[in-house]
Amino acid sequence: MSSGAKPVHARQTLFPVVDGCLTVGGVKLDRLAQRVGSTPFYAYDRVVLSARVAQLRAALPDALRLHYSMKANPMPALVQHMANLVDGIDVASGGELRVALDTGMAPEHISLAGPGKSEAEMAQAVAAGAYVHAESEREVRVLARLGERLGITPQLMLRINPEFELKSSGMRMGGGAKQFGIDAEDAPRVMALAAGLGLDVQGFHIFSGSQSLKAEAIVEAQAQTFALAKRLAIEAARPLRHLNIGGGFGIPYFPGEAALDLAPIGEHLAPALEAFGREQPGASVAIELGRYLVGEAGVYVARVVDRKVSRGQVFLVTDGGLHHHLAASGNFGQVIRKNYPVAIGNRMDAGELEPVSVVGPLCTPLDLLAERMELAHAEPGDLVVVFQSGAYGRSASPGGFLSHPDVVEVLV
């Protein structure tokens, strides 16, 4: 950031403005609110979702398989839309597994990962023919037992906790001591255990972090991931058939952040994939992305209920808040609260802006959607839009807190 320049949000360009009104899926927001029937709501744009996948495929090598990590947004209609665009779906619970199977995605392209998988969840996956990414010795033993009981050979991969992590990522989920995966140095022992139990370890899942906007950091983590996979493959009983190299692609949420540059990632991945293919002929390589695929394609829309002035400061009180959108309130793992990009969706052409805070109806100062942002003048009835809301929205928020109505989701 140059000295003195105030950091600003990246410009929102995915949702065209018509007659001063934002459109989602080609529908003006006021009309969309009528069509939904109530506020607040989340709206996801199919065209934006499809365009994002196309853009990603153009930048990455053809041989790389693209998986949707559905915990980012498990809305069934959206998962169905994504299922038609991607090569696989990564799920993190038995409930997500059911939604993924409902899309018609072939079970061999669905994988279940996550710590503490219950026996019932693993049995669901084995019965379906989906992959289970075992994250502990216990899970390997349970899978062997389930395989015998059900008379089905479990489709097994090992989730590895690498000794490195994706630098500058939003959430650290690899490296050091973790509840995720099997420590890389323990993997040979767990592979031997699996072989002894008659299980076939088909590959590895190496996830090193999330929400990175730095291409160099992602390139470095991917190089370390291939190197680790090659080392582990030497210890494996059979040649690798699958490798999941994680994801970690971020989207810009806050002032001063810019979109991830895909070009260097694609340029490094192409030779890395070729080299890996020579060493492990026939092995498939997948990348798993959640927020990068869906985060920018969604908005959260709440209606202004009240406009108050308190000691000179304007507060727009809306019918939506942290109970629907914890992340935008700054309480989903952020260290310092920063504003998501926010606008008054039916007053996009307003010339003059004013500093306002946008709050929700909950009795807690944490219920904040925008703190002293420059927004168009708004009155009760106007529609506040929170951008970058397609991932970790409704399903990642405490919907029961204060017993307000649930939020509606639509795919437009």
Ligand X SMILES: *Cc1c(COP(=O)(O)O)cnc(C)c1O
CB of residue 264 to ligand X, shortest distance in Å? 18
Residue 394 is a binding residue for ligand X (CB under 6 A): no
Of positions 164, 204, 207, 300, contacts ligand X by CB under 6 A: 207
Residue 69 is a binding residue for ligand X (CB under 6 A): yes
Question: Given the complex with ligand X, which of 250 and 345 has the nearer CB atom?
Answer: 250
Residue 72 is a binding residue for ligand X (CB under 6 A): yes
CB of residue 304 to ligand X, shortest distance in Å? 30
Of positions 27, 83, 113, 199, contacts ligand X by CB under 6 A: 113
Stretch that binds ligand X, among 136-144, 204-212, 298-306, 381-389 (CB under 6 A): 204-212
Of positions 155, 161, 208, 211, contacts ligand X by CB under 6 A: 211
Residue 162 is a binding residue for ligand X (CB under 6 A): no
CB of residue 71 to ligand X, shortest distance in Å? 5
CB of residue 208 to ligand X, shortest distance in Å? 10
Stretch that binds ligand X, among 23-31, 57-65, 284-292, 340-348 (CB under 6 A): 284-292
- Helices 46-59 & 76-83, crossing angle to 10 degrees? 40
Q: Is the peptide bond before 40 cis (omega within 30 degrees of 0)?
A: yes
Closest residue to ligand X using C-beta atoms: 290
Residue 91 is a binding residue for ligand X (CB under 6 A): no
Question: Given the complex with ligand X, which of 210 and 346 has the nearer CB atom?
Answer: 210
Residue 81 is a binding residue for ligand X (CB under 6 A): no
Would you state the structure tokens that stand for residue 345, as one six-digit string? 């969706």
Binding mask 323-352 for ligand X (x = CB under 6 A): ------------------------------
Question: Given the complex with ligand X, which of 28 and 159 has the nearer CB atom?
Answer: 159
Of positions 15, 204, 292, 340, contacts ligand X by CB under 6 A: 292
Question: Given the complex with ligand X, which of 290 and 321 has the nearer CB atom?
Answer: 290
CB of residue 295 to ligand X, shortest distance in Å? 7
Residue 288 is a binding residue for ligand X (CB under 6 A): yes
Residue 71 is a binding residue for ligand X (CB under 6 A): yes
Question: Given the complex with ligand X, which of 290 and 345 has the nearer CB atom?
Answer: 290
The Cα–Cα gap between 127 and 138 comes to 19
> What string of H, E and C letters represents the secondary structure of the chain?
CCCCCCCCCCCCCCCCEECCEEEECCEEHHHHHHHHCCCCEEEECHHHHHHHHHHHHHHCCCCEEEEEEHHHCCCHHHHHHHHCCCCEEEECCHHHHHHHHHCCCCHHHEEECCCCCCHHHHHHHHHHCCEEEECCHHHHHHHHHHHHHHCCCCEEEEEEECCCCCCCCCECCCCCCCCCCEEHHHHHHHHHHHHHCCCCEEEEEECCCECECCHHHHHHHHHHHHHHHHHHHHHCCCCCCEEECCCCECCCCCCCCCCCCHHHHHHHHHHHHHHHHHHCCCCEEEEEECHHHHHHHEEEEEEEEEEEEECCEEEEEECCCCCCCHHHHCCCCCCCCCCCCEEECCCCCCCCEEEEEEECCCCCCCCEEEEEEEEECCCCCCEEEECCCCCCCHHHCCCCCCCCCCCEEEEC
Residues between 26 and 45 with contacts to ligand X, criterion CB under 6 A: none
**Under 8 Å between Cβ of 198 and 192:** no
Stretch that binds ligand X, among 117-125, 258-266, 289-297, 312-320 (CB under 6 A): 289-297
The Cα–Cα gap between 209 and 269 comes to 17
Residue 289 is a binding residue for ligand X (CB under 6 A): yes
CB of residue 218 to ligand X, shortest distance in Å? 11
Question: Given the complex with ligand X, which of 248 and 345 has the nearer CB atom?
Answer: 248
Of positions 65, 81, 109, 291, contacts ligand X by CB under 6 A: 291
Footprint of ligand X (CB under 6 A): 69, 71-72, 113, 207, 210-211, 246-247, 288-292, 391
